[in-house]
Amino acid sequence: MGKQARVVVTGMAGLCALGQHWKSVREKLRSGISGVSFMREWEKYEGLDTRLGAEISEFVVPDHYPRKKIRTMGRVSLLATRATELALEDAGLLGNPVVTDGSTGISYGSTSGSPPAMEVYARTFYANRTIKGIAATDYIHFMSHTCAANLAQFFEIKGRLVPTCSACTAGSQGIGYGYEAIRTGRQRLMVTGGAEELHAVNAAVFDIMFATSKWNDQPERSPRPFDVRRDGLVVGEGAGTLILEDLDHALERGARIHAEVVAFGTNCDGHHITNPETGGMRKVMELALADARLAPSEIGYINAHATATELGDIAESHATHRVFGSGVPISSLKSYFGHTLGACGALEAWITIEMMREGWFAPTLNLDEVDPRCAELDYVRGEPRECSVEYVMSNNFAFGGVNTSLIFKRWPGG
């Protein structure tokens, strides 16, 4: 194999229940403010126990978006488009010919397309046995690669398109496969990340499995990753986009560099379709460390997947302990804005990089008492942890036994 390119992050942005810009997200993370709320509109669903969700309450489609370009978009694609627009702007690439000349590709995903469009098909075609009332664009709203395809047409991106539809690892695989495309010289830039829109059907998926939180009268006190009183996850929504770039290209155009991507590991448990497996989680972290040629002691902070489910938290904590021991600070951002499914890997990577740049890390919200069944780790609790580190790791795990681990390096002056 020839010389591999170094890959850097030159643009990034995200939308979640804490806000639509880093300033808002930062303020709420540092103040310990939750983005979880009581979803009154879900009361119409019989048997749905959870009423907790983390929605973006003030998202408005920008006026400058041409109707012709957004008519094929459901909310999930609109969130992805806005996050990507902000990230391209942050990278100084909006309007730059490199975005449209084939040098730039897309690696982006979601758990699924837009649920309301799926409902139209299910109700109209399957229940009413007719196609009357189904719009030509409804399928485009809910097809599995709707985010990646819509980003391509909106920004006129002509490079490779990699849809990552691996549920909770869609966003992290988006970043990882984008990193590999640049590292091996296939593209100079990649638009990477993931998105998800909040809908009751997403909560129902986990509710049926008894995996959702029932703290309905105290939404700000759940989810509770690693906590002895946790009772399940809270579903959220959002989108996160990282613009990855060949280092030489970034330096040539004088781009501001936020961080370097130094490793991506991904594997599959091959064990159980929904239950987490400690061995697979441990192995994927080791794969990332090997890719970066780093010792475990060189990682200064770990952003955990930690959804606040019993099996997941316990398995992940023990996998982490087997690799790192007890000394690395670790916390879960899902405690603030819920489990954003296909967006979580990208949102959490974005926020982790921002915190690394500023020299602090958010504590896990609602972690009052660590479950004694979890491994002994350096859980960041209570107040933000002020510390300067060179490398951070962000981990995500999904149904199907899909595991991912990303490592980012702090860029001097970034």
pLDDT of the chain, 414 residues: tens digit per residue: 568 999 999 999 999 999 999 999 999 999 999 999 999 999 999 999 999 999 999 999 999 999 999 999 999 999 999 999 999 999 999 999 999 999 999 999 999 999 999 999 889 988 889 999 999 999 999 999 999 999 999 999 999 999 999 999 999 999 999 999 999 999 999 999 999 999 999 999 999 999 999 999 999 999 999 999 999 999 999 999 999 999 999 999 999 999 999 999 999 999 999 999 999 999 999 999 999 999 999 999 999 999 999 999 999 999 999 999 999 999 999 999 999 999 999 999 999 999 999 999 999 999 999 999 999 999 999 999 999 999 999 999 999 999 999 999 999 987
Length of the chain: 414
Residue 108 lies in a domain: yes
Q: In whole angstroms, what is the distance from residue 160 CA to residue 378 CA?
A: 41
Q: In whole angstroms, what is the distance from residue 25 CA to residue 366 CA?
A: 17
Tokens representing residue 185 in the block: 């010289």
- Which are the contacts of 2, defined by CB distance < 8 A and separation ≥ 6? 185
Into how many domains does the chain fold?
1
Q: In whole angstroms, what is the distance from residue 342 CA to residue 112 CA?
A: 8
Residues with catalytic function: 168, 305, 339
- Structural domain range at position 118: 7-410
Residue 2 lies in a domain: no
User: SS in 3 state form for 299-358?
Assistant: CCEEECCCCCCHHHHHHHHHHHHHHHCCCCEEECCHHHHCECHHHHHHHHHHHHHHHHHH
- Which are the contacts of 305, defined by CB distance < 8 A and separation ≥ 6? 168, 312, 316, 332, 334, 344, 395, 396, 397
Phi, psi of 316 (to 5 degrees): -65, -40
Q: In whole angstroms, what is the distance from residue 95 CA to residue 62 CA?
A: 17
Q: In 3-state terms, the chain is what percent helix, strand and coil (to 5)?
A: 35, 20, 40
Provide the total of helices (H) and of strands (E) in the chain, helices listed first.
Answer: 13, 16
Residue 176 belongs to domain with CATH number: 3.40.47.10
Residue 310 confidence (pLDDT) = 96
Residue 236 lies in a domain: yes
Q: In whole angstroms, what is the distance from residue 238 CA to residue 19 CA?
A: 10
CB atoms within 10 A of CB 256: 15
Spell out the alpha helix ranges (H) of 196-340. 200-207, 247-252, 278-292, 310-324, 334-337
Residue 413 confidence (pLDDT) = 83
pTM for the full model?
0.97
Residue 3 confidence (pLDDT) = 82
Phi, psi of 114 (to 5 degrees): -85, 115
Residue 162 lies in a domain: yes
Helix (H), strand (E) at residue 70: helix 67-70
Residue 81 lies in a domain: yes
Residue 300 lies in a domain: yes
Strand order in the sheet with 238-246: 161-164, 104-109, 189-196, 238-246, 7-15, 259-268, 402-410, 391-398, 301-303, 329-331, 378-379
Tokens representing residue 109 in the block: 């995903």
Question: Distance between terminal CA atoms of the chain?
Answer: 30
**SS3 of 202, please?**
helix
Checking DSSP bridges between strand 378-379 and strand 391-398, what pairing results, if any?
A: unpaired
